[in-house]
Amino acid sequence: MGAVSPARGARTLSGNQPQQERSRATRLKLLEAAVSCLAERGWSGSTVSVVAERAGVSRGAAQHHFRTREDLFTAAVEHVAEKRQNALKAVAHNLPPVGSPARTRIIVEELVGLYTGPLFRAALHLWVAASDEEQLRERVTALEARVGREAHRTAVALLEADESVPGVRETVQGLLDMARGLGLANLLTDDSGRRERVVEQWAGNIHATLRLG
Amino acid sequence: MGAVSPARGARTLSGNQPQQERSRATRLKLLEAAVSCLAERGWSGSTVSVVAERAGVSRGAAQHHFRTREDLFTAAVEHVAEKRQNALKAVAHNLPPVGSPARTRIIVEELVGLYTGPLFRAALHLWVAASDEEQLRERVTALEARVGREAHRTAVALLEADESVPGVRETVQGLLDMARGLGLANLLTDDSGRRERVVEQWAGNIHATLRLG
């Protein structure tokens, strides 16, 4: 175990590499297509075949990567959520000075942005389907917990919030709940005007509450 | 038009009264059954027949009251939302003194309660279905706007918030968005422990932000 012969290692690095890369690229195309399909057509309109067609991949190749419909869509939501959160973490390098209200405003905007795009729409369809379907429920519950914990960690890090201070943890949690609620309010109509005003006001409230200034 | 003969008026008030009452009772049974059906079985599992059976009413009688599936379920969510909000307004007569943190705490708890029961679960199924189904979309969008406005009015009245002060309107809106997000977090698992801590903290934040004390 762990011992790879030089010959085999060399083959992996040369001959198999392009195939592995192609396989990885196919997988990524399927994951991205699955999220946009779920966001646009809901759970009932989202099957492995529909996603394979959208991704320009054969149904067989899709089933090689994802054995079941549940595998494909939970992996897709998790993948896109990770990508969004990594993009959000990258924002940290390009923010106004620590302690400025402008910094808090941008962070709150970005956190709310996690919940107002196609990813949230896709996740919402998956959650609601999971509330009726036993075989989805357990997996989506675990997925939601992982993604939620990660969002919380990202929020705490960006806000440089000190969770050892009583109430700070719950203030950040409530902010993420508000972000989820804003995502829901954006489901049927474009709520961006109202959302912008709520974000501006609550960024100020959060800034004062966390005594970030 | 508008002229009712005394004989007809008299008949309406006497002979037809029990029939009208029965009809009203049947309608109410159907509305309540529709919300619990939607909450438990989702949109795909909710038909007029299923609701009629649950309400102990014939399918014909159900269709006499509600011509289409969309009529029944949008009317049901609106009816139960009105009932919940009226119950919430009644809370106003039995609160701790104006200006006390305990009063704000109870109001925030009650507002969050609007979004964590079967009604919210039912409404969520309807919203998500409406995001895919053209014939539902317009009606549910209008319904959501009416119910949302009413919840906002109730929140402002209970909190005795002065919306002429800049930011107060958005603070109250964000609180209701948070309540919606807490409802969503309760969809797949019992989130009541975490929710209680968030509500306690945010009640304090709202109390300080609105300078209610």
In chain B, where the domains are located: 6-209
Q: Please give the structure tokens belonging to residue B69.
A: 């599936």
| pLDDT on residue B66 | 96
| Neighboring chain A residues of B37 at a CB cutoff of 8 Å | none
The predicted structure's pLDDT at residue B15:
58
Which pLDDT score is estimated for A136?
A: 92
The beta-carbon neighbor of A198 closest among B177, B189, B198 is: B177
A178, A191 Cβ separation under 8 angstroms: no
pLDDT at A107: 97
Q: Report the residue from A128, A140, A205 with minimal CB separation from B128.
A: A128
Would you state the pLDDT for residue A132?
Answer: 83
Are the beta carbons of B173 and A189 separated by less than 8 Å? no
Q: B83 — contact with chain A (CB < 8 Å)?
A: no
> Distance (Å) from the C-alpha of residue A167 to the closest C-alpha of chain B?
6
* Positions of chain A with pLDDT under 70: 1-16, 212-213
Contact A174 B127 (CB under 8 A): no
CA B36 to centroid of chain Cα atoms:
13
Q: Is 0.85 exceeded by the ipTM? A: yes
Are the CB atoms for B114 and B85 separated by under 8 Å? yes
Q: Among 2.60.40.10, 1.10.357.10, 1.10.10.10, 3.40.50.620, name the CATH number for the domain at A6-209.
A: 1.10.357.10
pLDDT at A7: 45
State how far the Cα of A83 lies from the Cα of A118, in Å rounded to an integer: 13
pLDDT, mean of each 10-residue run, chain B (213 residues): 43 66 94 95 94 96 95 95 91 91 96 93 94 89 94 95 95 97 94 97 94 67
DSSP string, chain A: -----HHHHHHHHTTSHHHHHHHHHHHHHHHHHHHHHHHHHTTTT--HHHHHHHHT--HHHHHHH-SSHHHHHHHHHHHHHHHHHHHHHHHGGG-SPTT-HHHHHHHHHHHHHTTSSHHHHHHHHHHHHHHH-HHHHHHHHHHHHHHHHHHHHHHHHHHT--TTSTTHHHHHHHHHHHHHHHHHHTSSS--HHHHHHHHHHHHHHHHHHTT--
pLDDT computed for residue A213 by the predictor:
55
Q: How far apart are CA B189 and CA B213, in angstroms?
A: 35
Which pLDDT belongs to residue A211? 80
Backbone angles phi, psi at B150, to 5 degrees: -65, -40
pLDDT digits (tens, 9 = 90+) for B159-203: 999 999 999 999 999 999 999 999 999 999 999 999 999 999 999
| Non-local CB neighbours of B77 within 8 Å, separated by 6+ positions | B35, B38, B119, B122, B123, B126, B143, B147
Residue (of A7, A9, A53) closest to A30 by Cα position: A53
